[in-house]
Structure 1
Amino acid sequence: MLKTLGAQIKEYKWASIATPVFMLLEVAVDTIIPLLMASIIDNGVNMGDTRHIYIMGVWMIVAALFGLLTGCLGAKYGAKAAMGFGKNLRAAMFRNIQTFSFANIDRFSSASLVTRMTTDVTNIQNAYMMLLRMAMRAPASIICAMAMSFFISPRLATIYLIAVIVLGALLLFISKAAMKYFDRAFKRYDDLNESVQENVSAIRVVKAYVREDYEKKRFSKAAQNIYDVFVKAESLVVYNSPLMQFTVYACILLISWLGAHMVVSSTLTTGDLMALLTYCMNILMNLMMLSMVFVMISLSLASARRISEVLNEQSTLHNPKEPLYDVPDGSISFKHVSFRYSDTAETPVLSDINLDIKSGETIGIIGGTGSSKSSLVNLISRLYDTDTGSVIVGGHDVREYDMDTLRNKVAVVLQQNVLFSGTILENLRWGDKNATTDECIEACKMACADDFIESFPDKYNTYIEQGGTNVSGGQKQRLCIARALLKKPRILILDDSTSAVDTATDSKIRAALAKTIPGTTKLIIAQRISSVMDADRIIVMNDGKVDGFDTHENLLKNNEIYRDVYDSQTNGGGDFDEGGAA
């Protein structure tokens, strides 16, 4: 874990080294000042030597200014190192997340990833700053002050030593006890972020169903859970302060009482007693700072583990050693393919799939909810790997291709259409960043999106809000289809991507695709039989298996599921799931 996190210090290594150096210089100054003060009292005030007072006073001012300078520089470089460390952690996590396969992403919720990149990283960078400054300054200051105290009076310094040992053990015990609650807290932060994320993204649904009160209660419950855990943790940590106060005042009383007797008996000077009291406060205050460091480290250890999980997560998908960088055509074959999303799943979602699709064919895919239609097409662009069998595209196993090359040639318009903040043109160029405006317009015409775009005041420069909230569902689907077409793919997969458009527009899109990209293999997943009945062939999925694969006419004759759905939709207007298919 430390090695994983430490690798992200990178260019802030020198700032990380400079910070503790300046802290040590500040400690040296803090150690010298009480000696100068003792000299003023013993050799200046008591001896009536005004010149000595002035000389030592000047040196105290010089030391104080030097201490101020080193403290400021330590703070500056500490902030630079800690904030830079946090920046690198977030960048490294984000880069690694971009390499994740769908299987990796399934392990982490989006809310959890957000928490790890925000709250957890903030905890780590704050802890790192304290480690560079306080964790270096406090122990060094305690050691130096302890050494000087023993130099002045071993008898009185023993009081400090006993206090430090007892108090250190108690603070360590408290910090360790609080650690288990901090572990729980960050898991509950995930729940809180998930509640916020779902509420904001689905605010229209919340308002449509008048579920504001329910969402408020859900959020309050998540916030209360975090409150309860932190109250338990802080209920332990709060003992730090009274323990410190008790120790400080007990030490001051003991040193004052014993020291006064020693001054009277002339075994200790007044100046030395003042220096010892200063060192006493120095030691105990730094011990309190050290206890704060322990608390922060305890808090950050949970965050460090969560961040390391993301940084150490390896993609389940990898490029071969000598990948292919060209997809010859859009032919597709499934050879005895079985697939499950989890190794622990008892039954596969796809079982012994065997299919052969020619390049340029239009294939319809139809089946009830949960029949694994989307799972089937996800294997083509290698979003997942098969458990057994192989998926062959362009005559080669998909595992032989460079993944970027394969996915650039297999365009997928998923069920959940996503548009990003930016203009329509910027969104379209996700398909091809170098696409000209004319190419974008042509793709939109093929997707029947040009008409509604031209009706906007800013046309193709119309700004799309986050998530595409200022366009309708059908408009969003057509923009996503146009974006996919700009990739000029060998294979185009439309995963229920026209469900929000009317049947006439759906028909126009299919006709345009057949005419303008005849060489592209088109896989159309749909619930409406009217969307696939003109396809060259149709796959009927049922419970993770291929129940039928033939033309519309032959399936009507030979496939009971397809015939029932067709009769249901043509006679009663029902969808696939109402047609009796499992």
Structure 2
Amino acid sequence: MLLRLLTTYLSKYWPLLAAVLIFQFGSALAALFLPTLNASIIDQGVAAGDVPFILRMGGWMIVVALGQILSAVIATYCAARVAMSVGRDLRNDIFGKVSGFSEREVSSFGAGSLITRNTNDVQQVQMLAMMSATMLVMAPLMSIGGIVMAVRQDVGLSWILAISIPVLLVAAALVISRMVPLFRSYQSRLDAVNRVLREQLSGVRVVRAFVRESIEEQRFRVANTDIMVVGRQVGSLFVLVFPLVLLIMNVTIVGVVWFGGIEVDAGNTQVGTLFAFMQYVGQILGGVMMASFMAMMIPRAAVSAERIGEVLASETTLIPPARPVTTLPRPGQVELIDASFTYPGADQPVLSGISFRAEPGETVAIIGSTGSGKTTLVNLIPRLFDATSGTVRVHGVDVKDADLDILWRGIGLVPQRPFLFAGTIASNLRFAKEDAADEELWRALEIAQAADFVRARPDGLEATISQGGTNVSGGQRQRLAIARAIVREPDVLVFDDSFSALDLTTDARLRQALWRELPEVTKIVVAQRVSTITDADRIIVVEDGRMVGAGTHEELLSTVVTYREIVESQMAVDA
């Protein structure tokens, strides 16, 4: 998966990769040439007292060293450009994929895990791409080239390399083999930390209301300790590998000095050659150490690539039609024909055999006890879920055949938990229609009974809204969400228990404004309060996922026991 991912995303930047390879190759050649120049200065210049030769070769060394530095800088710059671009592309693709997920896929992965995959996991792959680009040529060239140049300098000392290099490779392989399961465990524990933290931040009010701070702190402490334990094990391996490499390198250098000194004393080799051989040994072992470092990064990046691949390979259950219908023959009409829905792995369907029709301009209300499937039902209309059986038609077209953008453009949805984005009131309202004029925004606010509290704010439409709308009350948040749906100018408005935070007076005024100002818009209203839906054209009563009645308020009171019980229970509470 890692190789496929890197190949796919790196191939788009082959000119930059070619530049990296060329300049890394030049930098490696320059580095390999420098010890030879140094040896000639010592053996032919210093030993012979030839000052002009020393100056001439010293000048060449400066030129070669500057060339090496320049090549390395250019190669690193190009590699950084490639790695950052790959990271950007991966994040964009993951975000685009997740944006197309239905609630089923989001729940399957978990929001915390999806965030981790689009941040930390991408960072691991991005870092590997950076290191691969900078070390891919340098490590083998320094190792292989160093061996060739060292053997040219002194064949008699080459046996030292034949021992030290395999020992170094075996030691690195043993450490790396233990890292793969640890990296997979680390990423899973990172998901757990993000999940706990996200829950605590989102539910901070609930935590405080139930005085659960100490319990939640303990939950986070456990998750944090788990990741610390695994991180410490990974760190211990990293701490072990570098001293091990340095030990092998230093022992090798000592061996070269020891046996090379004997060769120099015997007159079999020159001092400059010995110095050059030592430098090549350092370059060889440095190349092997770079390769070992790369090998240590690969397991963690491989785990991250696997997790990224799972997201990119996931197919949403909301499959777009092969030939989407773009012409909607009956705008505003909503029809469900024997629609049923079952959650994956569930024993019983949430909805069974739901059938009703709402004509343009009609108001159809849906009521039922908690857990009866009302929210699931209205989620079928904008195709947030696909019905597992039956048909859902909106604007006269089966939602599975309709172009999703056109379908959604004709529907204004106010969810059960309205969400506002960080920004201003105006930016939140224009989320539904980017080019909406201020007059349109104020009209929507008037209908939603939100204009008064917006005018009361010093900045009006430009008043700041915190993420999630935490700086406004629940009722204000609901009314702003309703106004946002109205700004869209849809043919169908879907209210999923969207009046629950409003007092009875505001609720009544808002409904009157909706019916008066938007007479041609079809309104699907899910409600808990009977008073909200008594004037609906038709009321659908749902119990245990089944439709047990349909009609006007008066008709249902005399024919449907479930509805009568709901009305009587609320009348008793009001009394």
Q: TM-score, normalised by structure 2?
A: 0.95
Instruction: Figure out how many residues of one structure are paired with residues of the other and give that number.
Output: 573
Alignment deviations for residues 8-29 of structure 1 (CA, whole Å, 9 cap, x no partner): 3466432222223222211111
Q: Deviations over 1:53-96 (max 9, x none)?
A: 22221111111111111121122222222122212221222222
Structure 1 residue 126, shift from structure 2 partner: 1.3
After TM superposition, the structure 1 = structure 2 runs for residues 411-430 of structure 1, keeping only pairs within 5 Å, are 411-430=412-431
Q: CA-to-partner distance for each residue in 1:84-112, whole Å, 9 max, x for gaps?
A: 22122212222222222223222222211
- Report if the CA contact (8 A) 1:175-1:237 is conserved: no
Q: Report the equivalent of 2:300.
A: 299
Name the residue aligned to 1:334.
336
Determine if contact 2:6/2:129 at 8 Å carries over to the other structure: no
Q: Which moved more, 1:228-237 or 1:560-569?
A: 228-237
Aligned residue for 2:196, secondary structure, equals helix
Following superposition, the deviation at residue 564 of structure 1 comes to 1.4
| Distance in 2 between residues matched to 1:380 and 1:199, nearest whole Å | 32
Q: Separation in 2 of the partners of 1:160 and 1:277?
A: 11
Deviation per CA, 1:384-436, whole angstroms, max 9, x where unpaired?
11111111223321112101111111211001101112221221112222222
Write out per-residue CA displacement over residues 119-143 of structure 1, whole angstroms, 9 at most, x where no aligned residue.
Answer: 1122121111110112321121011
Q: Does 1:380 align with 2:386?
A: no
Aligned mates of 2:190, 2:518 — CA distance in 1 = 48
User: What code does the residue aligned with 2:468 have?
Assistant: G
Letter matched to residue 244 of structure 2 = L
Residue in 2 that maps onto 1:67: 68
Deviation at 1:478, TM superposition (A): 0.6
Supply the AA of the counterpart residue of 1:171.
Answer: A
Report if the CA contact (8 A) 1:430-1:483 is conserved: yes
Residue in structure 2 matched with residue 461 of structure 1 by the alignment: 462
Counterparts of 1:568 and 1:315 in 2: how far apart (Å)? 42
One-letter amino acid matched to 1:72: V
Provide the secondary structure at the position in 1 that maps to 2:187: helix
Q: Distance in 2 between matches of 1:170 and 1:323?
A: 59
Tell me the residue number matched to 1:56.
Answer: 57
Partner of residue 7, structure 1 = 8
* Deviation of 1:148 (Å): 0.9
CA–CA separation in structure 2 for the residues paired with 1:487 and 1:568: 37
Q: Are residue 482 (structure 1) and residue 491 (structure 2) matched? A: no
Counterpart AA for 1:414: P
Structure 1 Cα separation of the partners of residues 285 and 179 of structure 2:
22
Alignment partner, residue 27 of structure 2: 26
Are positions 1:537 and 2:538 aligned together? yes
- State the identity as a percent: 38
The answer on 1:228 being equivalent to 2:229 is yes
Counterparts of 2:340 and 2:321, CA distance in 1: 21
Are 1:537 and 1:549, in contact at CA under 8 Å, matched by a contact in 2?
Answer: yes
1:340-489 matched pairs, under 5 angstroms: 340-342=342-344, 344-489=345-490
Cα distance between partner residues in 2 of 1:291 and 1:560 = 75
Gaps of 5+ in 1: 575-582
The equivalent of 1:579 in structure 2 is none
Alpha-carbon distance in 2 for matches of 1:14, 1:114: 32
Task: Indicate conservation of the 8 Å contact 2:5/2:305, yes or no.
Answer: no
Following superposition, the deviation at residue 5 of structure 1 comes to 4.2
Gaps of at least 5 residues in structure 2 are none
Tell me how far apart the structure 2 counterparts of residues 26 and 312 of structure 1 sit (CA, whole Å): 40
Corresponding position of 1:578: none
Q: Which residue of 1 aligns with 2:242?
A: 241
Alpha-carbon distance in 2 for matches of 1:487, 1:253: 77
Q: Deviations over 1:169-215 (max 9, x none)?
A: 32123112111110111121112122222333333333344433333
RMSD after superposition: 1.9
* Structure 1 equivalent of residue 167 of structure 2: 166
Cα deviation, 1:432-478, whole Å, max 9, x if unaligned, reads 22222111111111111112111111222212122112211101101
SS at match of 1:356: strand
CA distance in 1, matches of 2:474, 2:485: 17
CA distance in 1, matches of 2:428, 2:11: 35
More deviation, 92-101/520-529: 92-101
Please give the alpha-carbon distance, in whole angstroms, between the structure 1 residues aligned to 2:113 and 2:6: 19
